[in-house]
């Protein structure tokens, strides 16, 4: 291996690692606030990418139907609860938010021809369709059992993941898609070509990480999330609703996931079930961070990306074995350093 | 007098009519991988069954379709269910080699013939007591690999690198290709693997580039096969690229785009049905299938994998009448007769080739079952 | 006296076994096939019940162990023509060896690191299976010979049924026996009571390794059966997704309950079959809706039954906890106590820092055999921290602790417990789901020897009777005789503290560390406690006591040490302390 190859591999590792890092952040965020190990995080990546691909191909993405269906179900549940509590005034608002917005979006997709729109608008539309799925899934699947044990929430995550994979196959078919490149620019660095898209991925990830940092440190909602993460009951006593915190964190996670998907879909083909493995590698990063520390999680994710890139050069058949076996010593090291508080 | 004659006539008709409908329906059990990693192979197969004839020789045919999600345990479970619960007379499946291999024991014990739609020759070779019940319709990967190696010999390619799926398909292709290439003096300078769901194969591509092979063979199926190709082209690989018959569908062309220009692959003739010479008997049958499939599912939706299912249907349609003479459907004798009848298939033209079965060869294909195809201008072009 | 009714549980169990015996004769072939698969999955899920439900260690990697068992037999029977019955011990041995090595590494991982560790080697093993040509690679090994029982070849589902279910029922019996024993109590303490268990002498890392290996062995056994049932193996059934599915089955069924394993395996398998049968006719053949509907149904089930379906069903068959009659057994040998008046515990310059906070600052004192030493001080003075430092629960930052002449400050809690020190905790640490006598019996852990194998085969009954008798004796001594078989979680706090004392006494200590034992007791109960402590003192046991009730302390203690802000404020006889102006100022209330 010479320097050039090492650089190329490093570039590849960091690009993938940047995506894994974003997912690791989302996973840590969701876990810290809601104690849910959000296995379906990867599905948002796939849905985001494939929805954009569908829009670019001029097809109506199936995700909009899911959005509508979930909206209707939530409306029914919330409305019947409002009726039971005799708070009829809430009903119009419920219907407007949960049914009206998806309908509006669906209408927009029918009316405009998305394939003809400029790329930024397409990206926006794709995000608008996919991101609301996050809080809706939280509301339907997790909120009723928000107080359950971590294991129970984990198994619900598995069930949600299975459902979303099935829906993904239904909406997008078994074959994958790539989206158009955001930029075709490439820089010549020495002998090698640095793809513009790759730079975009890393830069966008960094920007997102910084934005999240400011969100958590400077805005009231960010602080509310951190408060819930540290002490759920205490935050409730201060007037921060656990459900709001949950929905907010899921919205962020969905946004990060969908955006990551949109970032990498020009570079690689995304399939309806690609999300799981990508999410798993983000999960590895998140665990290395102890499901608590964002910087360490991001670092762990990048480490996974690099390990992957280099071991696919050295011994591609055993790539997975190498990556996952190398994780174990890292885990042991992290485990020794973190003094684990025994009971929750 | 007249009335008497017509009465007798009517009676005769009624009796014969009765006789032909008095026998039971023929049940065909199908287990295929419509979900999971092999979904892009299994879904066209599933769609094809909807196009199959519902009666053969006056008997009603029921197709019972089950999905095994590319999992061996489920495939075996489905097979047992079809045999025990649905009392099928024949099993078609599965889509992939490990599933099909696992089913052999079950069908052999139950004395039910099986037609597999999977690639490996191991399914029917070496012939033994169990495999006597098993047939297959896809060309063996050995056949396809030979086509590639011959093409390589003819175009003076001396060194090849291989990159394939890290699963049974990629492994099977490697085994066959390596054997034949060595026999024909082609040096293999690289052996890489990648997963279907990998987002990048940079490492593998770089290693292959460093070995500077004349050609690269990609042993993958479906659109994931485009990933190594695009990756190599991006990094400036200028040699010849070969793919396998697993990529023979329109989605692959869509994903691969310009990077696939000039790629060679062996394929079943159904892929380039229109371009076949009229003298080729396969042309008519292949076109018939393509038209039927695209009529139902849209232009450009046809895939060669669906044609394997179509051929299985054709084999059955050919073999059932002979079996019906021996026994009633739903009996062990019928299944044995069906097995014998399948083995006696002679000169049956399918969408992928001409079947000539024998006791030792339960595939029965010859040269006519494969063609070399080149991708030109985003289309499949038959290489003469 | 009326004839005692057969317990409902036994009746149901007998019906179940009778149904199993009759099933192959009545049910159609495919139903038996399904039951076979349910049995195979249940065997693995049972391991998860032990590991995850009882032990609290989440594992996604059980499928890899199934693969080890399956591949060992596949390889040995096809390549080396070994008889299948011999490949079973071989497979179990391989599985055990791999489990031990993996366990030694991954079980050190605390909290969330552990599940990821299991994912890591689960995936690694899967790809190893697929890449080794000797194991058939991804295409697999076919032609595995069937099992032969004398002349009968186990080929069909019908014949295999008895074998699988016999194995499953044996394993259920063994697991239940294991959980209802000395080792079983240690295992049940792993989830939520590990610190307490260590203080009682339980070797928790070893217990974790035991259940990890046992769970792996169950999985390996299932793999062996699978290989000979299907007679073909390839890597797909041993992937991470299958590992997740096993955990899924265990949780849906009820992961803390042994029968939950069968229920979960059965529910999921049957549900998938139903969906495969009925969905196409309901929703059409065009798409594949099984996965979607399955996922949705599971979400609904888990929302209604968070702890699994089995506890939900149990509510329909409520049963009082069953306990056998107390068997008269030989009393356990007592530890010879040191001479009265000799120094039991010597603490010299003990310091404990938490970051910048100094909780204990150069504390020094000693406790003698046959005396009660009281440690008093305002809240936050560092008394419980001192206890934790002495007993090894949270070791000191610096300083020396000698117990019976040996330095112990660097020893783990269980080693200190073995030397004869026992303690109670300021915040009661009981296992609420276990009965009082079981909780107290944890204290006798170090006085027993029988291993988990003996427990599984029930050859530990003699020792168990002795341990339980000892526990019962301590319970009576602490005035809790009428609560002996109640759940510990249902007692009021004062009684729970008494259970803690009984547990500490059950370990036959020579030094007792009591952290606020009288808190929450009423006057007469305090009198009884004081009387008990006096008796213990008379027997020659040393007692180090933290208390806030001054009457209680001053009437009982021989010497008193006062702490404030982590430092020793004063030490001496109770009368001296009560007159000490600094103590009065700081603690007892200054006169204005």
Least confident of A125-129, B366-370, C430-434: B366-370
Judge: A268–B199 Cβ closer than 8 Å, yes or no: yes
pLDDT band at B20 (very low <50, low <70, confident <90, very high): very low
- Cβ atoms of C498 and C520 closer than 8 Å: no
Query: Strand, coil or helix: what is C367?
Result: strand
Tokens of A334: 């992290």
Query: Strand, coil or helix: what is C449?
Result: coil
> Does the pLDDT value for residue B66 go beyond 60?
yes
Q: What is the dihedral of CA A186, A189, A193, A196, to 10 degrees?
A: -30
Judge: C307–A152 Cβ closer than 8 Å, yes or no: yes
Q: What is the pLDDT of residue C579?
A: 87
Q: What is the pLDDT of residue C340?
A: 83
Give ranges for CATH 3.40.50.300 in chain C. 343-588
DSSP C341: T
pTM: 0.89
H or E stretch covering B333: helix B332-343
DSSP A112: S
> Does the pLDDT value for residue B9 go beyond 60?
no
Q: What is the pLDDT of residue A95?
A: 84
Contact with chain A for residue C238, Cβ under 8 A: no
- Cβ atoms of C215 and C51 closer than 8 Å: yes
- Report the percent of chain C where pLDDT is more than 70: 96
> Does the pLDDT value for residue B4 go beyond 60?
no
Judge: B168–C137 Cβ closer than 8 Å, yes or no: yes
Phi (first) and psi of residue C56, to 5 degrees: 75, 15
Q: For residue range B355-365, list pLDDT tens digits in order.
A: 999 999 999 99
Q: For residue range A107-150, list pLDDT tens digits in order.
A: 888 888 878 888 888 999 999 999 999 999 999 999 999 888 88
Instruction: Tell me which chain A residue has its CA closest to the CA of residue B69.
Output: A166
Cα–Cα distance for residue pair A304/C499, rounded to 1 Å: 50
> Does the pLDDT value for residue A185 go beyond 80?
no
> Does the pLDDT value for residue B11 go beyond 80?
no
Phi (first) and psi of residue B102, to 5 degrees: -65, -30
Cα–Cα distance for residue pair A242/A229, rounded to 1 Å: 10
Cα–Cα distance for residue pair C302/C314, rounded to 1 Å: 16
pLDDT band at A196 (very low <50, low <70, confident <90, very high): confident
> Does the pLDDT value for residue B129 go beyond 80?
yes
Tokens of C113: 């690191």
Chain A residues inside the 8 Å CB shell of C192:
342-343
Closest by Cβ to B226, choosing from A9, A269, A276? A269
pLDDT band at A190 (very low <50, low <70, confident <90, very high): low
Provide the residue ranges of all domains of chain B, joining segments of one domain with +.
14-139+290-367, 141-267
- Report the percent of chain B where pLDDT is more than 70: 94
Cα–Cα distance for residue pair A17/A28, rounded to 1 Å: 16
H or E stretch covering C543: strand C542-546
C498-522: average pLDDT: 91
B184-210: average pLDDT: 91
Chain A residues inside the 8 Å CB shell of B196:
271
Pick the residue of C71, C74, C133, C139 with the most B CBs within 10 A to test the interface with B by mutation. Answer: C139
Cα–Cα distance for residue pair B345/B342, rounded to 1 Å: 5
B82-B87-B89 Cα angle (round to 5): 95
> Does the pLDDT value for residue B325 go beyond 80?
yes
Cα–Cα distance for residue pair C88/C99, rounded to 1 Å: 16
Q: For residue range C371-411, list pLDDT tens digits in order.
A: 999 998 888 888 889 999 999 988 899 999 999 989 998 89
Cα–Cα distance for residue pair B115/B113, rounded to 1 Å: 7
- Cβ atoms of C349 and C396 closer than 8 Å: no
Domain C343-588: CATH architecture, name and number where available? 3-Layer(aba) Sandwich (3.40)
Which residue's structure tokens are 């209330």? C589
Q: What is the pLDDT of residue C5?
A: 55
- Bridge partners of A188? A193
Higher pLDDT, B250 or A289: B250
Q: Find out if CATH 3.40.50.2300 is the number for domain B141-267.
A: yes
Judge: A327–C116 Cβ closer than 8 Å, yes or no: yes
> Does the pLDDT value for residue B213 go beyond 90?
yes
pLDDT band at A191 (very low <50, low <70, confident <90, very high): low
Exposed/middle/buried for residue B331 (C-beta within 10 Å: 0-12, 13-18, 19+): middle
Axis crossing angle, helix C113-131 with helix A319-337, rounded to the nearest 10: 160
DSSP A289: T
Chain A residues inside the 8 Å CB shell of C126:
320
Chain A residues inside the 8 Å CB shell of B166:
317
Q: What is the pLDDT of residue B16?
A: 47
B residues 41..60 contacting A (CB < 8 A): 43
- The overall average pLDDT reported for chain A is 86
Judge: B166–C237 Cβ closer than 8 Å, yes or no: no
Higher pLDDT, A65 or A185: A65
pLDDT band at C278 (very low <50, low <70, confident <90, very high): confident
> Does the pLDDT value for residue A178 go beyond 70?
yes
pLDDT band at C321 (very low <50, low <70, confident <90, very high): low
Q: What is the pLDDT of residue C474?
A: 92
Residues in chain B: 384
Q: How close B18 comes to chain A (CA, Å)? A: 44
DSSP A223: H
Q: What is the pLDDT of residue C319?
A: 67
A residues 131..150 contacting C (CB < 8 A): 140-141, 144-145, 148-149
Instruction: Tell me which chain C residue has its CA closest to the CA of residue B42.
Output: C288
Q: What is the pLDDT of residue B309?
A: 94
Q: For residue range B283-305, list pLDDT tens digits in order.
A: 999 999 999 999 999 888 888 99
B residues 283..312 contacting A (CB < 8 A): none
Residues 6 or more apart from C262 whose CB is under 8 A from it? C38, C42, C45, C46, C168, C172, C253
Pick the residue of A269, A278, A314 with the most B CBs within 10 A to test the interface with B by mutation. Answer: A269
- The overall average pLDDT reported for chain C is 88
Closest by Cβ to C285, choosing from B65, B109, B172? B65
Chain C residues inside the 8 Å CB shell of A155:
247-248, 251-252, 298, 302
Chain C residues inside the 8 Å CB shell of B170:
138
A residues 261..280 contacting C (CB < 8 A): 280
* b/e map C405-439, b = 16+ CB within 10 Å: eeebbebbbbebbebbbbbbbbebbbbeebbbbbb
Residues 6 or more apart from C148 whose CB is under 8 A from it? C84, C154
Chain C residues inside the 8 Å CB shell of A32:
none
> Does the pLDDT value for residue A250 go beyond 50?
yes
Cα–Cα distance for residue pair A62/C44, rounded to 1 Å: 38
Radius of gyration (Cα) for chain B, nearest Å?
23
H or E stretch covering A154: helix A150-172
- Cβ atoms of C69 and C223 closer than 8 Å: yes
pLDDT band at B17 (very low <50, low <70, confident <90, very high): very low
> Does the pLDDT value for residue B18 go beyond 60?
no
Least confident of A85-94, C118-127, C357-366, C580-589: C580-589
Q: What is the pLDDT of residue C307?
A: 86
- Cβ atoms of A279 and A191 closer than 8 Å: no
Closest by Cβ to C302, choosing from A152, A284, A287? A152
- Report the percent of chain A where pLDDT is more than 70: 96
Judge: B197–A268 Cβ closer than 8 Å, yes or no: no
> Does the pLDDT value for residue C267 go beyond 80?
yes
- The overall average pLDDT reported for chain B is 88
C residues 268..287 contacting A (CB < 8 A): 287
Contact with chain A for residue C190, Cβ under 8 A: no
Closest by Cβ to C137, choosing from B66, B72, B171? B171
- Cβ atoms of B108 and B339 closer than 8 Å: no
Closest by Cβ to C232, choosing from B72, B77, B85? B72
> Does the pLDDT value for residue B15 go beyond 60?
no
- Cβ atoms of B70 and B98 closer than 8 Å: no
Cα–Cα distance for residue pair B382/B99, rounded to 1 Å: 32
pLDDT band at A195 (very low <50, low <70, confident <90, very high): confident
> Does the pLDDT value for residue C213 go beyond 50?
yes
Cα–Cα distance for residue pair A132/B224, rounded to 1 Å: 30
Axis crossing angle, helix C113-131 with helix C62-79, rounded to the nearest 10: 20
CB atoms within 10 A of CB C548: 15
* b/e map B278-313, b = 16+ CB within 10 Å: eebbbbebbeebbebbeeebeeebbbbbbbbbbbbb
- β B371-376/B379-382 pair status: antiparallel
Subunits with 3+ Cβ pairs within 8 Å of A are B, C
Closest CA to C386 of C204, C561, C571, C197: C561
Exposed/middle/buried for residue A217 (C-beta within 10 Å: 0-12, 13-18, 19+): exposed
CATH number of B14-139+290-367: 3.40.50.2300
> Does the pLDDT value for residue C212 go beyond 70?
yes
Closest by Cβ to B203, choosing from A267, A269, A309? A309
> Does the pLDDT value for residue C444 go beyond 80?
yes
Pick the residue of C232, C276, C281 with the most B CBs within 10 A to test the interface with B by mutation. Answer: C232
- Cβ atoms of C414 and C203 closer than 8 Å: yes
Tokens of B232: 């190599």
ipTM confidence score:
0.89
């Amino acid at each position: 291996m010479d320097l050039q190859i090492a650089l190329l591999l490093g570039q590849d590792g960091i690009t993938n690692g940047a995506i894994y890092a974003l997912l690791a952040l989302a996973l840590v965020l969701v876990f810290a606030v809601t104690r849910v190990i959000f296995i379906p995080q990867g599905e948002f990546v796939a849905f985001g990418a494939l929805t954009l691909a569908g829009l670019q191909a001029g097809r109506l993405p199936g995700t909009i139907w899911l959005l509508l269906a979930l909206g209707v179900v939530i409306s029914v549940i919330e409305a019947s609860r409002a009726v039971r509590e005799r708070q009829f005034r809430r009903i119009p608002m419920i219907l407007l938010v949960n049914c009206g917005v998806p309908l509006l979006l669906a209408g927009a997709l029918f009316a405009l021809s998305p394939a003809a729109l400029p790329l930024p608008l397409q990206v926006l539309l794709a995000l608008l369709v996919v991101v609301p799925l996050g809080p809706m899934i939280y509301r339907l699947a997790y909120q009723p059992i928000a107080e359950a044990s971590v294991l129970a929430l984990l198994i619900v995550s598995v069930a949600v993941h299975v459902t979303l994979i099935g829906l993904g196959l239904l909406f997008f078919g078994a074959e994958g898609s790539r989206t158009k490149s955001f930029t075709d620019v490439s820089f010549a660095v020495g002998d090698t070509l640095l793809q513009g898209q790759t730079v975009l991925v890393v830069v966008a990830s960094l920007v997102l990480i910084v934005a999240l940092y400011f969100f958590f440190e400077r805005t009231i909602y960010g602080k509310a999330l951190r408060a819930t993460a540290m002490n759920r009951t205490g935050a409730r006593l201060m007037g921060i609703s656990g459900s709001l915190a949950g929905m907010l964190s899921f919205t962020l996670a969905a946004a990060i996931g969908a955006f990551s998907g949109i970032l990498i879909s020009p570079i690689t083909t995304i399939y309806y079930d690609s999300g799981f493995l990508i999410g798993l590698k983000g999960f590895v990063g998140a665990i290395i961070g102890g499901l608590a520390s964002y910087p360490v999680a991001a670092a762990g994710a990048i480490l996974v990306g690099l390990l992957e890139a280099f071991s696919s050069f050295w011994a591609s058949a055993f790539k997975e074995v190498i990556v996952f076996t190398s994780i174990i010593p890292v885990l042991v090291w992290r485990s020794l350093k973190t003094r684990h508080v025994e009971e929750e | 007098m007249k009335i008497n004659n017509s009465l007798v006539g009517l009676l005769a008709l009624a009796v014969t009519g009765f006789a032909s409908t008095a026998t039971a329906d023929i049940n065909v059990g199908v287990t295929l991988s419509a979900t999971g990693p092999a979904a892009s192979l299994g879904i066209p197969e599933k769609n094809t069954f909807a196009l199959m004839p519902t009666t053969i020789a006056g008997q009603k045919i029921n197709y019972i379709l089950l999905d095994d999600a590319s999992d061996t345990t489920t495939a075996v479970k489905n097979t047992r269910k079809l045999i025990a619960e649905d009392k099928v007379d024949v099993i078609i499946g599965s889509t992939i080699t490990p599933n099909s291999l696992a089913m052999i024991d079950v069908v052999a014990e139950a004395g039910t013939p099986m037609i597999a739609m999977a690639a490996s020759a191991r399914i029917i070779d070496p012939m033994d007591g169990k495999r006597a019940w098993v047939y297959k319709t896809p060309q063996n990967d050995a056949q396809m690999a030979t086509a590639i190696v011959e093409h390589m010999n003819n175009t003076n390619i001396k060194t090849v690198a291989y990159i394939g799926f890290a699963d049974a398909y990629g492994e099977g292709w490697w085994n066959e290709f390596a054997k034949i290439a060595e026999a024909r003096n082609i040096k293999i300078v690289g052996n890489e693997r990648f997963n279907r769901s990998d987002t990048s194969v940079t490492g593998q591509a770089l290693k292959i580039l460093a070995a500077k092979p004349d050609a690269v063979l990609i042993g993958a199926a479906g659109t994931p096969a485009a990933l190594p190709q695009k990756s190599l082209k991006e990094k400036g690989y200028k040699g010849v690229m070969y793919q396998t018959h697993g990529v023979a569908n329109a989605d692959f062309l869509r994903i691969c785009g310009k990077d696939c220009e000039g790629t060679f692959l062996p394929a079943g003739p159904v892929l380039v049905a229109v371009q076949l010479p009229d003298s080729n008997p396969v042309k008519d049958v292949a076109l018939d299938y393509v038209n039927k499939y695209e009529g139902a599912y849209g232009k450009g939706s046809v895939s060669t994998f669906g044609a394997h299912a179509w051929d299985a249907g054709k084999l059955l349609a050919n073999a059932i009448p002979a079996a019906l003479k021996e026994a009633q459907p739903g009996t062990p004798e019928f299944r044995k007769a069906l097995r014998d009848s399948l083995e006696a298939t002679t000169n049956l033209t399918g969408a992928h080739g001409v079947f000539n079965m024998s006791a030792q060869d339960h595939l029965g294909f010859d040269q006519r079952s494969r063609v070399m195809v080149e991708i030109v201008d985003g289309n499949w072009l038959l290489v003469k | 006296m009326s004839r005692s009714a057969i317990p409902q549980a036994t009746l149901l169990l007998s019906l179940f076994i009778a149904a199993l015996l009759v099933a192959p004769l009545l049910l159609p072939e495919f139903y038996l096939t399904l039951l076979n698969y349910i049995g195979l999955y249940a065997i693995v899920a049972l391991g998860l019940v032990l590991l995850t439900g009882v032990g609290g260690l989440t594992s996604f990697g059980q499928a890899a162990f199934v693969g080890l068992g399956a591949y060992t037999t596949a390889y040995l029977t096809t390549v080396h023509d070994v008889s299948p019955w011999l490949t079973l011990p071989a497979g179990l041995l391989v599985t055990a060896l791999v489990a031990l090595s993996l366990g030694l590494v991954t079980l050190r991982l605390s909290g969330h690191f552990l599940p990821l560790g299991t994912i890591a080697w689960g995936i690694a093993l899967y790809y190893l299976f697929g890449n080794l040509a000797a194991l058939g690679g991804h295409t697999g090994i076919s032609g595995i010979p069937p099992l032969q029982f004398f002349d009968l070849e186990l080929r069909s589902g019908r014949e295999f049924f008895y074998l699988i279910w016999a194995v499953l029922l044996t394993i259920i019996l063994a697991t239940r026996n294991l959980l209802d024993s000395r080792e079983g109590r240690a295992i049940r303490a792993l989830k939520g009571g590990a610190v307490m268990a260590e203080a009682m002498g339980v070797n928790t890392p070893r217990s974790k390794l035991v259940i990890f290996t046992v769970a792996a062995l169950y999985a390996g056994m299932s793999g062996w059966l699978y290989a000979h049932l299907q007679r073909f193996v390839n890597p797909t059934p041993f992937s991470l997704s299958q590992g997740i599915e096993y955990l899924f089955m265990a949780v849906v069924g009820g992961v803390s309950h042994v029968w939950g394993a069968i229920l979960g395996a059965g529910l999921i398998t049957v549900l998938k079959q139903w969906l495969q049968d009925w969905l196409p006719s309901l929703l059409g053949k065009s798409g594949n809706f099984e996965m979607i509907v399955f996922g949705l149904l599971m979400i609904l089930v888990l929302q209604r039954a968070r702890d699994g379906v089995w506890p939900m069903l149990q509510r329909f068959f409520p049963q009082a906890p069953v306990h056998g009659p107390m068997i008269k057994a030989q009393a356990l040998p007592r530890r010879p106590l040191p001479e009265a008046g000799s120094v039991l515990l010597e603490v010299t310059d003990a310091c404990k820092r938490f970051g910048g906070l100094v909780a204990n600052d150069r504390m020094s004192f000693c406790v003698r055999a046959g005396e009660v030493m009281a440690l008093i001080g305002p809240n936050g003075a560092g008394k419980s921290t001192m206890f934790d430092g002495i007993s090894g629960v949270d070791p000191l930052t610096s300083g020396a602790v000698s117990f019976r002449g040996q330095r112990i400050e660097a020893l783990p809690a269980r080693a200190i417990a073995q030397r004869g020190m026992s303690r109670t905790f300021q915040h009661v640490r009981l296992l609420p789901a276990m009965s009082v006598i079981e909780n107290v019996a944890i204290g006798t852990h170090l006085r027993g020897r029988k291993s988990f194998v003996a427990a599984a085969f029930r050859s530990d009954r003699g020792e168990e009777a002795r341990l339980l008798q000892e526990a019962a004796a301590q319970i009576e001594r602490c005035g809790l005789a009428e609560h002996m078989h109640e759940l510990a979680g249902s007692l009021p706090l004062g009684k729970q503290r008494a259970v803690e004392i009984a547990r500490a006494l059950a370990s036959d200590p020579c030094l007792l560390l009591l952290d606020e034992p009288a808190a929450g007791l009423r006057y007469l109960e305090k009198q009884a406690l004081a009387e008990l402590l006096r008796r213990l003192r008379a027997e020659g046991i040393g007692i180090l006591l933290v208390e806030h009730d001054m009457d209680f302390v001053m009437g009982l203690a021989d010497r008193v040490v006062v702490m404030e802000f982590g430092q020793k404020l004063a030490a001496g006889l109770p009368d001296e302390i009560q007159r000490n102006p600094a103590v009065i100022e700081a603690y007892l209330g200054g006169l204005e």
